[in-house]
Amino acid sequence: MTRAKLTNEPLKKLKRVTNGIMSFEDKYSIVGTRDTKYDGTFFTAVITTGIFCHPSCRARIPKAKNVIFYDTIEEALQNGFRPCKVCKPMEKIGETPLYIKNLIAELQQNPHEKISDEQLKSKGIEPHTIRRWFKKNYNITFHSFQRMLRINYAFTNIKKGNSITYSAFESGYESLSGFNESYRSLFGESASKSKNRNVINVLRFSSPVGCIIACATEKGLCFLGFIGQKRIEKQFDEIQKQFNAIILPGKNAHLTKVKKEITEYFDGKRKIFSVSLDIVGTEFRKKVWNELLNIPYGKSVSYKEQAIAMNNIKAIRAVASANGANKISIIIPCHRVIGSNGMLRGYASGLHKKSWLLNFEKNNSNLLAQKIINYESV
């Protein structure tokens, strides 16, 4: 819990958030900025209204003296605060609303169907809301999403050995030129050229600290990260090149499994993962990532200790850079490596997320240890 110091001095505007630990002033300067990056890492409770919110809530900005910050939903509830009806802090961040889930299911069943604004309105859905949701959650328009599904269907058909013409008409395109144009604008090359490309499937799902995006090949998971993390587009370009593949929404058993395992992790029920990984990297990087897998849940080591564990004390910088190049967040736990002085150093999704993950694992380990002690003392 963090409260304002009783002072008449005005609060300073956003300072740089250092080491993932935020003061009251840091947190207060984020409230109402609509920056969703911090949602889930702390909650804003307002004494005068009895309500608690995500920091990004669009409701009126409360006065600092009326604000208490809590780290968890449980703390806010235990202290008698109710969840806000505007920002709905009890809902998992990035959770897909039911009417959008239904819409996606409908499109997946009939990939050649095109849902127009009129059809959306007749279902009681505001087209503007849908557009905003797809832009925010997939970083593409609803129109592009439908086009990607149609292309995915056509691409699968082409891969099966069907002709491009057959596949284009089969997926609802009225002309071959229309299909080719659409294909080229999406992938930057013609359908005939990408015949030999592989497919990487992509899935997004919610977590308590932000929307997660996962990509998998036929062999295993090749990307896991938070939407909005640094250089995500560049990393997508890299994996498409590395696997000679195109990224498309679609079903994939590894994605189903990773969603289940990550959800269990955030529920505090999973410490190690069994989903298959498909990783591309130099021998050195692979060694570094393997070493990361040796750091136990709830613990952290320094870059130096990691280099020593690899019998390569001189390689601290190279080790840190390989950690930074890790594309499978959480599962390959690069968040468990920190500076020798205890500073958190870098993390693509921001130090506040690294700090949240470390605290979450530490608290969760303590809880389990406590349970064992209680059990033993019975």
Question: Given the complex with Zn ion, which of 29 and 323 has the nearer CB atom?
Answer: 29
Report the nearest approach of Zn ion to the CB of residue 87 (Å). Answer: 3
DSSP β-bridge partners for residue 252: none
Secondary structure element (H or E) that encloses residue 69, with its range: strand 67-70
- Residue 321's closest CA among 334, 305, 340? 334
With contacts defined by CB under 5 A, name the span among 52-60, 168-176, 335-343, 348-356 that binds Zn ion.
52-60
Which of 17, 31, 57, 149 is close enough to bind Zn ion by CB under 5 A?
Answer: 57
With contacts defined by CB under 5 A, name the span among 47-55, 219-227, 251-259, 346-354 that binds Zn ion.
47-55
Q: Phi and psi of 168, rounded to 5°?
A: -65, -50
Strand residues in 178-327 grouped as ranges (E): 198-205, 212-216, 221-226, 245-249, 301-302
- Residue 200's closest CA among 109, 261, 278, 108? 278
- Residue 86's closest CA among 137, 122, 46? 46
Which of 31, 46, 53, 199 is close enough to bind Zn ion by CB under 5 A?
Answer: 53
Rounded CA gap, 123 and 165, in Å?
Answer: 33
Supply 284's token pair. 């050195």
Report the nearest approach of Zn ion to the CB of residue 59 (Å). Answer: 5
Supply 209's token pair. 């600290």
Question: Given the complex with Zn ion, which of 57 and 292 has the nearer CB atom?
Answer: 57
Report the nearest approach of Zn ion to the CB of residue 3 (Å). Answer: 19
Question: What residue type is 181 in one-letter code?
Answer: E
Report the nearest approach of Zn ion to the CB of residue 73 (Å). Answer: 13
- Examine the residue annotation and report whether 334 is marked as an active-site residue of this protein: yes
Report the nearest approach of Zn ion to the CB of residue 205 (Å). Answer: 23
Question: Given the complex with Zn ion, which of 54 and 150 has the nearer CB atom?
Answer: 54
Question: Given the complex with Zn ion, which of 58 and 241 has the nearer CB atom?
Answer: 58
DSSP β-bridge partners for residue 246: 199
With contacts defined by CB under 5 A, name the span among 59-67, 72-80, 197-205, 272-280 that binds Zn ion.
59-67
Rounded CA gap, 176 and 284, in Å?
Answer: 47
With contacts defined by CB under 5 A, name the span among 55-63, 128-136, 197-205, 263-271 that binds Zn ion.
55-63
With contacts defined by CB under 5 A, name the span among 48-56, 229-237, 263-271, 296-304 that binds Zn ion.
48-56
For Zn ion, the binding residues in 165-194 under the rule CB under 5 A are none
Question: Given the complex with Zn ion, which of 57 and 216 has the nearer CB atom?
Answer: 57
Report the nearest approach of Zn ion to the CB of residue 85 (Å). Answer: 8
For Zn ion, the binding residues in 61-90 under the rule CB under 5 A are 84, 86-87
How far from the centroid of its chain's Cα atoms is residue 135's Cα?
A: 15
Please count the residues of this chain forming the interface with Zn ion, following the rule CB under 5 A. Answer: 6
Q: Exactly one of 53, 215, 222, 334 is catalytic; which is it?
A: 334
Asked whether position 31 contacts Zn ion by CB under 5 A, the answer is no
Per-residue CA distances from 15 to 25, 336, 353 (Å): 8, 25, 17
Supply 356's token pair. 């949240």
Question: Given the complex with Zn ion, which of 87 and 332 has the nearer CB atom?
Answer: 87
Question: Given the complex with Zn ion, which of 44 and 152 has the nearer CB atom?
Answer: 44
Report the nearest approach of Zn ion to the CB of residue 266 (Å). Answer: 22
How many helices (H) and strands (E) in the chain? 14, 11
Supply 17's token pair. 């958030």
Q: Phi and psi of 338, rounded to 5°?
A: -130, 170
Question: What residue type is 61 in one-letter code?
Answer: I
Rounded CA gap, 33 and 36, in Å?
Answer: 9
Catalytic residues: 334
Binding site for Zn ion (CB under 5 A): 53, 57, 59, 84, 86-87
